[in-house]
Structure formats: C-alpha cells, structure tokens
Amino acid sequence: MAMKFARAASARGLLRWQSPLARPRSWVCHSCRSNVAAVMSRRFSSEPPQPLQQLQPSPTLASPFSLDDKPYYVTTPIFYVNAAPHIGHMYSMVLADVFKRWQTLLGNQAFFCTGTDEHGMKVQQAAALADMDPKRLCDENAEKFEELAKFSRIDYDRFIRTTDRDHVQAVEHFWFLLREKGLIYETKHEGWYSVSDECFYPESQVVKHQEKFTGVVYMASAETKNKVEWVEEKNYCFRMTELKDRLLDFYEKNPGWIEPAYRMNEVVDWVKNHFEDLSISRPVQRLNWGIRVPDDPSQTIYVWVDALINYITAAGFPDWPPGESHKGGWPADVHIVGKDILRFHCVYWPALLMALDLPLPKKVLVHSHWTLNNTKMSKSVGNVVNPLYAINRWGVDTTRFYLLAEGGIADDANYCNDTLVVKYKKFLQWGFGNLLGRLTRPKVWNVRKIVEGSVCEPSSAKRYPTRRNLAEFEALLDDLAATVAGRMQKHNPVGAIRKIMACAAPMNELLTETAPWSLVKSPNLADKELAEHVLFLVAEGLRLSGILLQPFLPDKAAQLLDILGVAQDKRTFDHALLRCDLDYGVPMVDPGTGRADGLFPPLIEDMDVEFHGSVKKKTKKGTSKRPTERTTEQTIED
C-alpha cells in the first residue's frame, strides 16, 4: 500500500525532490592558505548504528555520501504559532544563523531551515479563543515569525510551515513506511496528557503541584510543572520500545552527540527508566486541526511526529533519488533546540529515524532559556521580551551581540536592558567603535599608505618601552582566526564572539601607550617607523576582526570593512590572516567625524568624543572618565 501511494504521488509530481540553494564557493587566494584551514575540517567519527534484526536496512535511504556533495545543514526548531514570538525564538534563530553564515564564510555550501509548527491542540484552542479559523491564525502568526527573521537578519534558505503541501505529503509517506515495517499498532491508550506540552507522561513523571500564587493543587508534569489530565482514548502507537537497546547503544558510542554533554545524562535516564511505546495519533473528536492518519480519517497524527519530520521534508524527503539523500543536506549537521524540547529531539526523533534506517543528525545543540528578572519567560504570564521592540530600540546587531555574548548554552541567561547598555558601551562603542575612529579619522596619517608601506617589524620596536610587546600582539592576531574557528568547530559561538570582542581592548591600549599621533610628527625616523607599524597592526586587527565578525554582526561588520576599504572578494575566512591582504586602506564609505556617525554611536547624548578616540563623560561635578584608560576592564575572554 505504501509503495502504491508513493508511486501514485510521484506520478502526479507531488513528491518532487528539491536541492538546497546552491552557493558558489568563494574565491581563495592561494598565498593565504595556511594550517588554519585544518582547524575547520568537519569530522563526524561515529558509525551509523546497526539496525535491529527485525528492521531490514533501506539502502536507498541510508547510502554513504561524500562531504563534498553535501551542503552543511543547520536547523532551528519550528516555532509554535499559538502566540507571537519572543526573545527566546530570536535567540534560536540567531544561533543557527551564525552557523550558516560561518560555513558561508568558509566558502562551503550551507542550507538553513527555520519555520513554524502549525498543528496541534494548542493552536486549535488558541484559534477557538480568538474565534478564528485555525489556518487564518496560523497565517497571521507565521507572518510574525517571518517578520522576526527578516528584521533579525536571518539568512535562512527555507521557511517551512507544517501546513505546506510538501510537508503534509512527507508526513503521510513517513507514516506509510512505519506501517509497512509493522511499527504502528492500534490500541486503547490511557495516561496523563499535557495540552501545554502536547505529550503523554508516564505515571513516574507525574506529581501533585501547587500553584504558587493561587494555591490551587493539580496533577502536573514533574519536568515542566504544566497541568496534566487523565485521558482514555483509541489511537495508534509506535513500537518505540523495540528501539530501546539500539538508542542506548548509540548514546554510549556517541557521548558528544548532544551539547552540552551533561544533557546526555537526562536523555539516557529517560530511555532507561521512562521509555514506553509512543502514542502517535489523537481522535479527531478531540483534535481535528492536524494531518489525518492515512486510511483512517477518524485519527489525527500526533503533532510532534508531524513537526519533527519537517527537518527531512526541507531536505527533499521522500523523493530522494537512490544514494542522493545527502544532496538535500541530510543528515543535519546541527539541530539548534531549546532545553524544554530535549526529549522530543533526542529520544523520539532518533527513534523514528532509526525505525526507517535513516541517518541521524550529527549534532544536537541544546541551549538554555532567557529569563526576565531571573524568572522564566512565559507567554501565559506575559513576562516576555518582544524582540522587535529590542531591535527597534537598540538596533539589530546590538541585539544580536547581546544575545550571542550573554546567551546561555549550558545555563539560563537573564535579559536586562541595563546590562545590555553596559555591554554596548564597553565592548562596542568604546571597543571597536572607538578603535575604528582612532585609526581612520586622524588627518596626520593615511591608512592606505600605512598598509602599502608595512614592514614585518621596525628595528626600534623591541626597544620601545611599551607595556605590551609588539611581537606578542602580532602573535595574538596570528592566532585569532584559528582560535575562533576552533570554538566554532566545538559549537561554541558564545566563546567565539567573546574571543573576537576581547581583541579591541589590547588594540586600544596599544594606541594609548605608543601615542602614534605624536610619533608621526617626530623628527626621529625610528619613531615614525614605530608609529606606522603600530597603526598597521591595529588596522590588521580591525580587518581580521571585521572578517570574523561577519557571521555574528553582519551589518556592522560590513560597515567596518567598508570603512577600512576591504574589497568584497577579500572578506572570506582564508583572508583572516595577518598580511594576507595589503590592498585595503581607501574607505568605501565616510568614516564620519563625530560621535553620532561612528560605527557604534553613543546611546547617551551627553557623551563628547574628542580626537584620537578620547571619550569624556560629563558628570554632575564636572569630572570626566576616559574609557581608554580602563581598557583592561573590557576583557570578556573566557
């Protein structure tokens, strides 16, 4: 029956495979190649798990592939449309966007999928409360998530919606394949069900919970504290318990599959102690907004089975030519998910894939939550941060910077506007913004001539009484790209952006200590030579930082490189090496003249910017503080 359906669908042209958007590889200067590139080689050492004896492998769906043929594939979770997006949704998008842009920076093909989850009980109830048709509610809220992606500068390739026609067909086909393998059975199911979490919980995971403010006592999930109710109904179940040993074997052989690594303990504990067959349908009388079970319109497919399949829908499932499933990107290189959906992505999803002998995703990166006043954000409570308000107030790259530099992978992060302002001033305005102005605005030197006449090291450099040895500073710049690449290789974008941001402080210190604006006027040739060398190193530090910041702060990084005059075809990772590009220095855009038109203008209007980057803050007593004298406080390196 399954093959009959697939053949008929293919004949109608419904299951058409689509490859991701092809991106040409960036031009690479051969003279710039170094061992840094070795840091970037992606590896996934684990072997595909062996199928259960009763589950025969499907060679047409799990063929080996060459990494050269496969685009890098990154996903966010698809977001539920029962309410408007909040800052946590933006955080997931930005994390995934950084990985996509990083691969593009490396010159690799990359495919990024995000989107919306539009079926299920919560959407049905939200539509009923709003007295709306569910599809209309989905259309309106999906548009809000697309708008968020647009204003957040998210470079996605597919915005998938679970109401999309190709996705509905993919889910139906997946169901047929499970049924063909004898992995679906009909039963009377009873258990504790949470509408909020859209799942059943075993008895061992249900507790009595008292509402903090009202004192009301109810049965709830021990994990999420959301209310559960006892449900008895006829539905279909997936024989997930038959995959228990295979799952545990996979976890044991791939301890780094989930990051942070300690999350693996939660997953293993669940499988060992709470594992049971999965109810994968709901009676249409209780849930009518969703994809109907093929051949049984009285049942609706469980929303999480529907939602998880989106990742392979976007990769072209089910119409994969034999041996070419990887050309659509599958398996995903990294799934970005929040910690509250860990079990669905690390237990249910691999079990479903194993059942059909499909490759598992290579990595699941689990991030923590954003809190407000150290309290978990909740749409029901109303204590959420609207990301569009934050972007409108602070700017998109400032908001991205704050989320990336302060966001929580292992631990929850607290959103605070006051903290955002402090970080902005310290690392953006007084860091790279101040530094760029100090280099490009003075009239006593010409950046292009400095770059053009650069030398390895002046004879006077080692003798000059600076606190920071210039050779050490040059070594820092030499290692910058490799260090950042190593952190991205370890799926640590927080550490990567912190490493880049930490470079501004020593560069500002170097300018302050050597005072090149005085040395260039000296009659002593050695002084002029030293000044030009220092200015060249600062220019190189800004160029390298600008290139590496492109995945994180796309607009501001582009502006920085434009002001430096770096050519468009020399902004790849291979150009993030010291002295790799000596053709820049003529600005493509005006570097500005004052505080208001700088790369990172002040947020407070009583800031006076003086020449050479000296910043004075007026106080009630008329005193001033100069941030260039406080640059040692600016380090946010791990």
| CB 158, CB 113: distance < 8 Å | yes
What integer is the mean pLDDT of 567-580? Answer: 97
Residue 52 pLDDT greater than 50, yes or no: no
Structural domain contains residue 234: no
> Per-residue pLDDT tens for 115-141?
999 999 999 999 999 999 999 999 999
Of 257-266, 346-355, 370-379, 623-632, the one with minimum mean pLDDT is 623-632
In this structure, the answer to whether residues 371 and 505 fall within a common structural domain is no
In this structure, the answer to whether residues 388 and 487 fall within a common structural domain is no
* pLDDT, position 325: 81
What integer is the mean pLDDT of 501-525? Answer: 91
- What's the per-residue H, E or C state across 426-480? HHHHHHHHHHHHHHHCCCCCCHHHHHHCCCCCCCCCCCCCCCCCHHHHHHHHHHH
Structural domain contains residue 437: yes
Percent of the chain with pLDDT over 90: 63
* pLDDT, position 148: 97
* CATH number of the domain bearing residue 392: 3.40.50.620
> Per-residue pLDDT tens for 144-194?
999 999 999 999 999 999 999 999 999 999 999 999 999 999 998 666 777
> For residue 165, how far is the Cα from the chain centroid?
27
The more confident residue out of 463 and 328 is: 328
Residue 343 pLDDT greater than 60, yes or no: yes
In this structure, the answer to whether residues 430 and 390 fall within a common structural domain is no
The more confident residue out of 171 and 35 is: 171
**Confidence band (pLDDT; 50, 70, 90) for 458?**
low
**Confidence band (pLDDT; 50, 70, 90) for 484?**
very high
> Per-residue pLDDT tens for 86-103?
999 999 999 999 999 999
* pLDDT, position 604: 54
In this structure, the answer to whether residues 462 and 393 fall within a common structural domain is no
d(C-alpha 127, C-alpha 427), whole Å: 44
> For residue 17, how far is the Cα from the chain centroid?
26
What integer is the mean pLDDT of 189-206? Answer: 67
* pLDDT, position 469: 73
pLDDT, the chain, mean:
82
Residue 443 pLDDT greater than 60, yes or no: yes
What integer is the mean pLDDT of 288-305? Answer: 95
Structural domain contains residue 561: yes
d(C-alpha 636, C-alpha 502), whole Å: 6
In this structure, the answer to whether residues 370 and 495 fall within a common structural domain is no
Q: Which domain, by its residues, includes 443?
A: 421-634
The more confident residue out of 54 and 383 is: 383
In this structure, the answer to whether residues 575 and 437 fall within a common structural domain is yes
The more confident residue out of 90 and 594 is: 90
Structural domain contains residue 276: no
Of 31-35, 54-58, 398-402, 494-498, the one with minimum mean pLDDT is 54-58
Q: What is the DSSP letter of 325?
A: G
* Final residue belonging to a domain, choices 413, 447, 472: 413
In this structure, the answer to whether residues 367 and 466 fall within a common structural domain is no
Query: Which range among 15-29, 315-329, 557-571 has the greatest average pLDDT?
Result: 557-571
In this structure, the answer to whether residues 307 and 351 fall within a common structural domain is yes
d(C-alpha 551, C-alpha 401), whole Å: 11
What integer is the mean pLDDT of 406-413? Answer: 90
In this structure, the answer to whether residues 472 and 438 fall within a common structural domain is yes
* Final residue belonging to a domain, choices 364, 385, 413: 413
* Final residue belonging to a domain, choices 413, 429, 459: 413
Structural domain contains residue 279: no
The more confident residue out of 229 and 558 is: 558
What integer is the mean pLDDT of 452-456? Answer: 74
Structural domain contains residue 68: yes
Residue 44 pLDDT greater than 50, yes or no: no
Residue 342 pLDDT greater than 70, yes or no: yes
Residue 53 pLDDT greater than 60, yes or no: no
Cβ-proximal residues to 615 (8 Å cutoff; 6+ apart), any chain: 430, 434, 607, 608, 609, 626, 627, 628
What predicted TM-score, i.e. pTM, was given to this entire model? 0.81
* CATH number of the domain bearing residue 535: 1.10.730.10
Work out how many domains the chain is built from and give that number.
2
Query: Which range among 5-14, 19-28, 396-405, 455-464 has the greatest average pLDDT?
Result: 396-405
Structural domain contains residue 272: no
In this structure, the answer to whether residues 367 and 438 fall within a common structural domain is no
Structural domain contains residue 386: yes
| CB 595, CB 437: distance < 8 Å | no
* pLDDT, position 595: 77
* pLDDT, position 466: 54
In this structure, the answer to whether residues 79 and 131 fall within a common structural domain is yes
Residue 1 pLDDT greater than 90, yes or no: no
Give the strand pairing for 296-301 and 281-283: antiparallel
In this structure, the answer to whether residues 432 and 343 fall within a common structural domain is no
Residue 627 pLDDT greater than 60, yes or no: no
